[in-house]
Amino acid sequence: MKKLNLGCGKDIKKGYLNVDFEKFNGVDKIFNLNKVPYPFKNNSVEEILMYNILEHLNDPYGIMKEVCRIMKINAIIHIQVPHFSSNSVWGDIQHKRGFSSGTFTHDNILSMFKLKKQRIVFSRYGFLMEIFANKFPRIYEKLFAYIFPASYLDIILIKK
């Protein structure tokens, strides 16, 4: 089973091919994730982790199409990205964007993937707002996101 930890940084996972553009201790493969095609065969990957990487890339939609290409049918991709309201979304000079609850429920993503899970995550002090935001994400984002900022989105997609 081929599993990828794309944009791993120093978060090395056992049982995964750990990929990053920098050579940290434990990184197995170095390449620029902005450059497609990726060096993997079509339909060859069963699981992908993309934790805190999409916000660094130039073309997240193009990257999602590329990971779809290399994933097997029913393969799983776990994604974490900063919510647009997060206090730290612009704290890293390398971040190019934040994300909303609509990013991974848009038709262009759902044409490639089934949404298994999406959760708006808050700091430990925001647990009541987290319940509300996940029940009513559009209302939360329109009316309350900048009053009660979220931390990140936690997404699981399955390739169709």
Domains of the chain, by residue range, sit at: 3-159
State the chain's mean pLDDT as an integer. Answer: 96
* Integer CA distances (angstroms), 92 to 11, 75, 102, in order: 17, 31, 23
Residue 160 predicted with pLDDT over 90: yes
CATH class given for the domain over 3-159: alpha beta
Note the pLDDT tens digit of each residue in 63-102. 999 999 999 999 999 999 999 999 889 888 999 999 999 9
- Give the pLDDT band (50/70/90) at residue 1: low
Which pLDDT value is given to residue 27?
A: 96
Note the pLDDT tens digit of each residue in 5-43. 999 999 999 999 999 999 999 999 999 999 999 999 999
Say what percent of the chain tops pLDDT 90: 92
